[in-house]
Structure 1
Amino acid sequence: MFADREEAGRLLGEHLRERGDAVSIVLGLPRGGVPVAAEVAAVLGVPLDVLLVRKLGLPSFPEVAMGAIGERGVRVVDASTIARAGVTADEVAAVERRERAVLDERARLLRRGPPPDLEGDAVVIVDDGIATGATATAACLVARSLGARSVLVAAPVGAPDAARRIEGADAVVCLEQPFAFRAVGDHYRSFAQTTEAEVLAALERSRPR
């Protein structure tokens, strides 16, 4: 159990430092992953930026992912979940249009220019937790499209089979992977929603003076 995202990020950063992986940049997944990523970047002494992805939630259960989208047109869908839930192609398209609009608006708010140039970089993608792995997979695909040499996905907590759920990562690191995993928020004492202002503040603090 972590006190909050900041504590979880510090512990995650210390663990990654002990692993000794080469890291060029830490990329947080807005919004909740950014406070964690900011602490990881501070511990490792590397730059912080964001990769923009959005979960595609089931129409009847938005918290359950049936896929994800990301920058540069990245799209990941879980055909088996869609089939089991009886979601139609039109319903998937409607959710995707809505989430793409949110992603585009977030890009305008959080970015001062294009996505980061990751050519040849060893990147760490950080979220506050890994449930289905859909958004992390989308983030890996975005990072690869931006030229990343290697991609490590890291989170304080994840499902027991988190590594199997994520495609495109060279490695997946979770500090905790409880057998009875249900939801990311269950593993934080404080799990308030991260605001856009908090994300902007974290990015601003990480920028060179």
Structure 2
Amino acid sequence: MKFRDRVDAAQRLAKNLEGIQNEDPVILAVPRGGVVTGDVIAKTFGLQLDIVVSRKIGSPYNPELAIGAVMHDGSFFPNSDLINSLGVTQDYIDEQIAEQLQEIKRRLTKFRGRLDYDLKNKTVVVVDDGIATGATVFATLGWIKKQNPKRIIIAIPVGPRDTVEKLRQVAEVVVLHEPVIFGAVGEFYDSFDQVEDSQVVEIMRSYGHHKNMK
């Protein structure tokens, strides 16, 4: 399965979310690409769009290999097996968390104008344009669960089967394509252009997220 672009993927994904508007859910998109996907879904059902930001902590030997991920409140969700097998020090982890927290707060301030959330007793739909290792999604899920929501749904066009199966153990998952062989999310799109900060800001402003935006 291949998608023309993020809009095409989101339109197909929305068909699998029919009826969700009856729960008045919070749509939480993952910047940057997931905001385009989330925008289409939110507009399809006449819902509000919000964002959530988590950042992976890369291995000291391979920045692309996630040894965990951190949320805006400093919550760190480690891949303990990797950390132990690679002998990663706590000092390195603390340093990386501090660095990523700065980027998280920059994005949240720029894109939504504030850092607080109210998810208690609500249905939360986390939307992205696809997942690979799932490190940041698992961190996002762990943080959302601490907010005591009523229901959590992960909605993605594509993700590797092994990662999707792990996600299903901790949340409801709506996915259109879960290939066994998986390289990168962009492989499953004809057009997978970089989404710029300015595009995210424009989308978020259309939902009223403009206070304190810079």
* Other-structure match for 1:130: 131
What TM-score, normalized by structure 2, do the two folds share? 0.86
* Other-structure match for 1:2: 3
Residue deviations 1:78-102 (CA, integer Å, cap 9, x gap) = 0122234443333322222211111
* Structure 2 residue 100 is the aligned partner of structure 1 residue 99: yes
* Other-structure match for 1:175: 176
* Other-structure match for 2:15: 14
Alignment of 1:130-149 (within 5 A): 130-149=131-150
Distance 1:166 1:57, change over 3 A: farther
Consecutive unaligned residues of structure 2, counting only runs of 5 or more, are 210-214
How much does 1:128 deviate?
1.3
* Structure 2 residue 180 is the aligned partner of structure 1 residue 205: no
- Counterpart Cα distance in 1 of 2:50 and 2:126: 10
* Other-structure match for 2:212: none
Alignment of 1:15-30 (within 5 A): 15-17=16-18, 22-30=23-31
Q: How many residues align?
A: 208
* Other-structure match for 1:35: 36
**Aligned residue type for 1:170:** A
* Other-structure match for 1:161: 162
Consecutive unaligned residues of structure 1, counting only runs of 5 or more, are none
* Other-structure match for 1:191: 192
Contact 2:29–2:38, Cα closer than 8 Å, also in 1: yes
**Aligned residue type for 2:50:** D
Backbone CA RMSD of aligned residues: 2.3
How much does 1:169 deviate?
4.1
Give the ranges of 4+ consecutive aligned residues of structure 1 lying more than 4 Å apart after TM superposition: 18-21
Distance 1:47 1:202, change over 3 A: same
- Give the % identical residues: 32
